[in-house]
Amino acid sequence: MRIPQSERELTWWEKIYLPEVVRGLAITGRHFFVNLARHVLHLLGFNKVPKGAVTFQYPEEVRPISPRLRTVHRLARRADGSPRCVACMMCETVCPANCISIVGAEHPDPNIEKYPVRFDIDLGKCVFCGFCVEACPEDAIRMDTGIYDFAAYTREGMILTLETLLSLEPAPYVKVPPQDRAADPGPIHARKGTVAPL
Ligand code: SF4
Ligand code: SF4
């Protein structure tokens, strides 16, 4: 039976650490010099040599992201601008991190049962699993804003409120279904920066 790495006794050689430190430095150094050589060979026109690893100069240079990436949530709106959400609590119930908090109220339109008067998502607790999006029967909550670099100075600053969630737009690469176009018009917000007031 294979013993898990965490339960295995360290050997004497491993306990003195220095050889492992040297081994780590050797691996890092090998990658550095191989990449350097590949970049230099490409500059000299040896294009058959595989390209060296590329480092993005973040945050000045933002790496392209996949349209499938789950990013900060938003709440979709109806054509009249009201929330599409019917405060059914499905997302709150399914959330494994307990980070959604909804307060619902009776909707004046008898065809719509309820609407949210309060809808908070605590991004400090969210694990970005996407269960809330999957569970929503109204397609009201989406994780397609393209925003992933958010931060706040306080824990409260990590909480997205109903107003913030309704104000966020889909990322430019997201195809908005025709029935939503009136409700989700452009322009698209910048993808960088915080999404919650600090
Ligand atoms: S993505 Fe997952 S953890 Fe985050 S709010 Fe949705 S269900 Fe909860
Ligand atoms: S976002 Fe969807 S699942 Fe969550 S309360 Fe609103 S309608 Fe229900």
Ligand 1: list residues with CB < 6 Å.
94-97, 99-100, 121, 126-132
Q: What is the dihedral of CA 133, 177, 65, 45, to 10 degrees?
A: 160
**Amino acid, single-letter form, for residue 137:** P
Mutate to test the pocket of ligand 1, among 91, 95, 121, 165 (most ligand atoms within 8 A of CB): 95
Q: pLDDT at residue 181 above 60?
A: no
Answer yes or no: are the C-beta atoms of 145 and 196 closer than 8 Å. no
d(CA 97, CA 115): 23
Q: pLDDT at residue 23 above 60?
A: yes
pLDDT value, residue 192: 43
Looking at ligand 1, which atom is closest to the CA of residue 97? 3
Please, what is the average pLDDT of the chain? 86
Pure H helices in the chain? 12-15, 18-43, 90-94, 131-135, 162-167
pTM of the model: 0.70
Span 50-62, average pLDDT: 84
Rounded to 5 degrees, what are φ and ψ at 124? Answer: -70, -20
Ligand 2: list residues with CB < 6 Å.
85-91, 102, 135-136, 138, 140-141
Q: pLDDT at residue 193 above 70?
A: no
Mutate to test the pocket of ligand 2, among 78, 102, 166 (most ligand atoms within 8 A of CB): 102
Rounded to 5 degrees, what are φ and ψ at 102? Answer: -125, 140
